[in-house]
Amino acid sequence: MSSMLAQALPADLPPLAAIKPRTLSLDSIKPIETYRDDFTYRNSAGAIARFPFPFPEDNYMYSVNIEPATVGPAGSIFEHWFDVDEHYRSEMAERALVLARDPRRCMVMPHMQEAAWDTLEMLMEHLATDYPALFSLHREGNHWHWQNRVLELDQHFTFGDASTLPCEPLEYITRQAQGDFAVLDQRDGDLYMDAGIVTCPADWSLAFDAGMSFKQWHAPVPMAHQMGVFDRALKYLMNIQVGKPVRRLNWTLTINPRMDTSPETFHEWGHERGQVTADNVGQLVHLRVELQFMPRLPRSNALLFGIRTYLISFDELVSQPRWACRLHRVLRDLPPQLIEYKGLSRYHSTIVEWLSQFDPEA
């Protein structure tokens, strides 16, 4: 997952192309592209400009550097709590496909029903307020009217009564929100993964981690436990207050623009790591960045752990020369334990050699 390996936000390294304020409309959102089979997913120039390049320095090491999720520049991925972009239709189509194949990707334990409604309320309120051309929400007591103009949904329902929705509330709203969501119950001085929807994970499984404590689901991560990263991160997360969310970035590499790299589908994508050559690095290898956003849910006191994934091919990334140079240095000097943990061993030397052409000091 989305391990709690903090990485400073790239405030010191803005993209070379200026991020422009935007008013998202139905026409701003692309027709459906694919994250599998023929892989038609691509980023526009505007999407590249606002991509969250995660490296503030020429090297990378674990640290705890979670920051308050303050409002970012207009047009940036930090402008709103829940970012919607040109890939909205594509991600929602991919989520529906994954859920049809494997319903276990959405799970809500019985004691998390209130947190599920909490999540629905938070997402509907923010999406309707921040993207009025796409979503609207009208309320009269517990009688709610929700409209999603992108997906052409028009739903009247009773808040708190799941029988008035097509499916349970967490699944209903997260089928309409980009990114994965884990809902963490806070009790006994720890956080437990007791609900969530996870259809685009970076090599972790909701079904496997369900019910685990914070340190249990982070157990496979090398080095960070010895460095005390998780002790400090857990203490920080347990003290998040309502209305004061925090965020951080995490990263890895993915072959092809494939969203679903779960253990359940490893047989579909694991072999692709062996297909990287010097001739296809730019097309095949993608930098995968997670914007992790963590607000406190006000009714249940659960912690929402949003994991918004952004993909960029190396060909798209090197259109920003400073990013290409820095990524070369980060990957070249990555500790062996992290190369192994992130699954880069089979093609690490190939991508470092390819990126060296963009580093004047290489």
Distance (Å, whole) CA 224 – CA 196? 25
Distance (Å, whole) CA 287 – CA 314? 7
Supply φ then ψ for residue 286, to 5 degrees: -125, 135
Annotated active-site residue in 175, 247, 248, 329: 248
Q: Look up residue 238 and give its amino acid.
A: M
* CB 29, CB 176: distance < 8 Å: no
Helix then strand then coil, in percent of the chain rounded to 5, is 35, 20, 45
* CB 21, CB 237: distance < 8 Å: no
Tokens found for residue 341: 């943990």
**348-355 and 321-332 helices, crossing angle to 10°:** 140
Active site residue 248: yes
Compute, in degrees rounded to 10, the torsion defined by CA atoms 191, 195, 198, 204: 40
Phi-psi domain of 152 (left: phi exceeds 0; alpha: psi -120 through 50; beta: other): left
Q: Strand order of the sheet with strand 180-187?
A: 67-68, 246-255, 285-294, 303-313, 180-187, 190-197, 106-108
Phi-psi domain of 90 (left: phi exceeds 0; alpha: psi -120 through 50; beta: other): alpha
Query: Strand, coil or helix: what is 253?
Result: strand
* CB 214, CB 187: distance < 8 Å: no
- Which residues are marked as active site? 248
